[in-house]
Structure 1
């Protein structure tokens, strides 16, 4: 080990924790809107080196500091929804955001106790155990306590050579290649010397995965089916503070009608999440009028609305089809506090943030097929659902187009909506399906089956957008197998390393 590395791995505790937090804070700069992926890899490399030789508790503490930096920068936009739209005071909003960051950082840190306890002193720890445990942590955060699958490393590489791995292994597979590369680099730095060059061989193997990803970008995996479809979408830009104001219902409907007027000649017309600001059965006369217009022009109108089920006494965040568009979809992955309140009996009424107008939503059934317009099946996704890779991959199997509607006005002009858009692009790339993304205030866009934005609307303006999409059929490897191959691979790496340790004891 070189002298500079020796100093890095022997820093005083407080200095190491600070450096870990700074390393974690670099990771979000690899995502939108910055897209500085080398910074993310530099932060990871520093993390690997700072974990070297640490005990279980020390590695866990450093990982927690790294997680605080990662989430403190990466999800800072949560403050806006709590303070601005949840009416919490600035100190209270900052406290709540801080507690959330500390909690998700704690969840992030758990696998690294294992790393410090059993692998940090092993010469293959950085090479095999670090990538495996980091990846298994990403997977864990995708489902634990309903999941928070945000800031996966793979998203920072949607525009690099590694994007070719997404249809094969999904975003977690892209993360794995990043981690194997950084782990191999860390392994080389920690174990190589002028007399021992072999520790650099794993880096050559990992580096070969990058041009392989470039080659995989040319594999289509799916094929066009049917004729191209013309689509218009509306971005009404309704201020969040007026969204559910009864006095603003009529102006909202008039704005939707006005922005839609020149779009009825398209095959499809899309309105965003909860575009109609009253529940379904209260708006039946208006919906019937829209249905008649859609039938008259042969335009499939698809809109977000809150659906009220009187029999079940339940409300759903839904998408409904009118005219040639058939079906209704109820959202399955709900946003904590925004759509439901955990520990409701204890938290309701404490502050306005726990009583948001839409925090009464029920979870939709899992066995929903989506929407249909003619022979084209639409995989329908509402807002937060698009960040779940396996959910989207499964939903896309029987459908030819991805549609996500959203309202990111909760996060104003922060980096949150741009991260959200990047994740939607990844879903199009993983499934090799075109995606339509219609939002209240941006980013509204058409995304092709390679994950590239073809057209997008400017954020924070009342506008509409028109484009053409080409439905596609066929399954990518990721749609067939999901994230399991990557999870099993990383689990096997850990098992093999454990067996190796036992034999060498």
Structure 2
């Protein structure tokens, strides 16, 4: 290991940049659908050794001498993000005549931009770089900062934050109920990078012992949480049917196919219950399942009423329109409707966090002049966003916390709001991305919200993955990517969270500050004995 560390440290120029990109690219194997969580134990030590080996011009000031750390961090981030986000380009190919030109921007441009956060992590880490555990703590703290900024600035895009690589299965997800994904970003990098000490020896025994203790705690806490009695079904029960129609995205966009798309959802909703199961109380359709403006089509509402039996409710994704005033174009919202057995809309919630360039155009006036439009919104100006999440209330007083599509990847925006609800409701349409890693990654991130809140999740996806996820992140029943059909399942009850989401945020902040303090302490002169 010392020989390998020495060779990596001596790499320079384009070879150093290429090795950093390769390390980031290989780290993707720890994400769904691969879930090889051991890979970062190899790639992060390489990142540490690469930063060990960089040094700026000694004639420059401290800030300029740290710039090579930025380059290494950026290259690592570019490899990681390009390798884990390439599938975004498939959405552009659905309407290739209009959007194929933007393929390089989605596949390479977006990762190049987002990698700036990792470059910042490498730069700041290099500023306080020392040896031994100090530099490991510096990298963990700065990666935690980078991921926090990535999820916050410019509306945020925290997709595939590093912490998710350490949580591929339920036993490894439970730590998120204590420190959230923000804390896992710091803790995972701290543990992943610790084998780098084998190559440089200083602080090795303490560092590896601490990493082993954290891994044992991570797995042990998960085993403990999963050993507790499974959440019981609600009393009185609430049986949910989740419909996964598997409608091709090109067909959804074809105006001539609207009637057949609508009827496909109705047919699955009206299908008889399998075996001796209970009749569904609640039927859930995915995001934008209704292929037209529902309020302009009373016949469609009447058709829904024909299918729904007495007492049944239907929740569907749909586009909602609203008058913006005299002389102004109407506003459009990506919404959820609650419809009763008489075909009446009795509840609605609008999407809060929209996808930039997907559902709306940032700097709309500028881009509109260039003839650009949002990929997933054909109406002028794209969608409008709601100011706040609206909790849906069902008959009997039970409530659902709606998360439309990628809203489920923003844990900080949920706060403690879901804690009093019966379930999280995540409806999505990942058919834009075909059978790529994207839907698998989306599902993993969504189910972590159930773990963090202690609230089960009802997840309806057009093409998969649809599932009922319990309050500990376990799939009770589901439909895989690319399957067509439905599942009927009794909704389990929520559990008391280990810590509320707000408390998880404070715990994550403490961990980040502690790692930063260790890094600064080491930089200021403290040294652990060699070996």
User: TM (normalized to structure 1)?
Assistant: 0.90
Q: C-alpha deviations, 1:405-436, integer Å up to 9, x for none? A: 11111111111111111112222222222211
Distance in 1, matches of 2:128 and 2:25, equals 27
Distance in 1, matches of 2:35 and 2:247, equals 29
Cα distance, 1:188 vs. partner? 4.7
Q: Tell me if 1:331 matches 2:348.
A: no
Cα distance, 1:353 vs. partner? 5.6
Aligned residues: 501
Pick aligned residue for 2:314 from 292, 295, 301: 301
The answer (yes or no) to whether the contact 1:82–1:353 under 8 Å persists in 2 is no
Q: Tell me if 1:139 matches 2:148.
A: yes
Cα distance, 1:178 vs. partner? 1.8
User: Against the structure 1 CA distance between its residues 93 and 200, is the aligned structure 2 distance closer, same or farther, given a 3 Å change threshold?
Assistant: closer
Distance in 1, matches of 2:302 and 2:257, equals 21
SS in 1 for 2:357: coil
The answer (yes or no) to whether the contact 1:244–1:357 under 8 Å persists in 2 is no
Q: How does 1:297-446 map to 2 (within 5 A)?
A: 297-311=310-324, 313-323=330-340, 326-348=346-368, 350=370, 354=374, 356-357=377-378, 360-366=382-388, 368-446=390-468
Cα distance, 1:86 vs. partner? 5.1
Distance in 2, matches of 1:222 and 1:468, equals 13
Q: C-alpha deviations, 1:450-483, integer Å up to 9, x for none? A: 2122322243354222222213253440434242
The answer (yes or no) to whether the contact 1:165–1:173 under 8 Å persists in 2 is no
Partner of 1:240: 249
Partner of 1:271: 285
Q: Tell me if 1:256 matches 2:265.
A: yes
User: Against the structure 1 CA distance between its residues 79 and 70, is the aligned structure 2 distance closer, same or farther, given a 3 Å change threshold?
Assistant: same
Distance in 2, matches of 1:365 and 1:197, equals 51
User: Against the structure 1 CA distance between its residues 34 and 199, is the aligned structure 2 distance closer, same or farther, given a 3 Å change threshold?
Assistant: closer
Q: Tell me if 1:210 matches 2:223.
A: no
Distance in 1, matches of 2:519 and 2:81, equals 30
Q: How does 1:118-129 map to 2 (within 5 A)?
A: 118-119=128-129, 121-129=130-138
User: Against the structure 1 CA distance between its residues 155 and 478, is the aligned structure 2 distance closer, same or farther, given a 3 Å change threshold?
Assistant: farther
User: TM (normalized to structure 2)?
Assistant: 0.86
Pick aligned residue for 2:160 from 151, 175, 179: 151
Partner of 1:38: 38
The answer (yes or no) to whether the contact 1:222–1:475 under 8 Å persists in 2 is no
After TM superposition, the structure 1 stretch with the greater mean CA deviation from structure 2, 428-437 or 181-190, is 181-190
Structure 1 unmatched ranges of 5 or more = none
User: Against the structure 1 CA distance between its residues 68 and 221, is the aligned structure 2 distance closer, same or farther, given a 3 Å change threshold?
Assistant: farther
Distance in 2, matches of 1:432 and 1:367, equals 19
Distance in 2, matches of 1:352 and 1:87, equals 13
Cα distance, 1:122 vs. partner? 4.0
